[in-house]
Amino acid sequence: MSKYRLTRLALEADTSIKGLIEIREAPLATEEELALAHDPSYVQRFFSGQLDPKEMRSIGFPWSQGLVSRARASAGGTLAATRALLEWHLPLTANIAGGTHHAFADRGEGFCVFNDIAVSAHMAMAEQGIERVLVIDLDVHQGNGTSAIFAKDDRVTTFDVHGDKNYPWKTRTTSTYDIALPDGTGDEEYLRLLEDWLPRLFANHRPQLVFYQAGVDAMESDSFGRLSLTRRGLRQRNRMVLSKCIKESVPTVITMGGGYSRPIGDTVEAHADVHRTAIEILGNH
């Protein structure tokens, strides 16, 4: 999808953040890494093109070696961002892709093959000594795969704000906290909700690592979002989440998530805003 490339180009061309951001190519996640959160059989069958037509229809893409590489890079980027964050003791890192929250342990769904957040959270808990993870998923579609993977894992808290009438309709699962919003929800109500919830999440769960799924499909111009946030409202959303993470000294990984506004430049700028806001916040601390 061109928005990934265009978002990277927008950030590289932004002179206001020149020298303040380092962009690296994502490594390809290995079978062993993906198996931290996924059924090894599912991983192997996807790699070798052996998923049946029904499984591929659920994912939404035709199988190809290019799709395999793309899915591995999407997960590999979040893994690399998480490792850099924890090994170099950084406050924030990001993947200019990822946020593939509809992928379950044993299947893909909704244009998501592997669940990069789940894989990376499991890696952090297995290799980096992390014991408490908070997933803040603000994509307009519920992160059903993420919540299913961690449904019985008390180490991971999933907080999900999404549109009540949006996909997934038939496979919605239960997060630790689900906030389903009515069509047309705008800036004021949305931001007030976050202002109420963020302090409680950090106080009650004391996370050692945060994954922020920063989808921008809640924007009023989005083709599928059904909510009515402005670009300014989205920037304030990002500022609230990331400021809280920095204030609480909790290392945070940002992933991209959805965004389907037209023209595509609106989507690209909203995605780029997430990273611009992160840099702004770091500069103020």
Which residue numbers are catalytic?
Answer: 102
Per-residue b or e along 119-152, where b marks 16 or more CB atoms closer than 10 Å to that residue's CB: bbbbbbbeeeebeebbbbbbbbbbbbbbbbbbee
The DSSP code sequence of 84-101 is HHHHTT-SEEE-SS---T
Within 10 angstroms of residue 285's Cβ, the number of other Cβ atoms is: 9
Q: How far apart are CA 228 and CA 89, in angstroms?
A: 37
139, 222 in Cβ contact below 8 A? no
Q: Which amino acid is at 96?
A: I
Closest by alpha carbon to 275, among 5, 1, 15, 11?
11
Q: Which helix (DSSP H) or strand (DSSP E) does residue 137 occupy?
A: strand 133-137
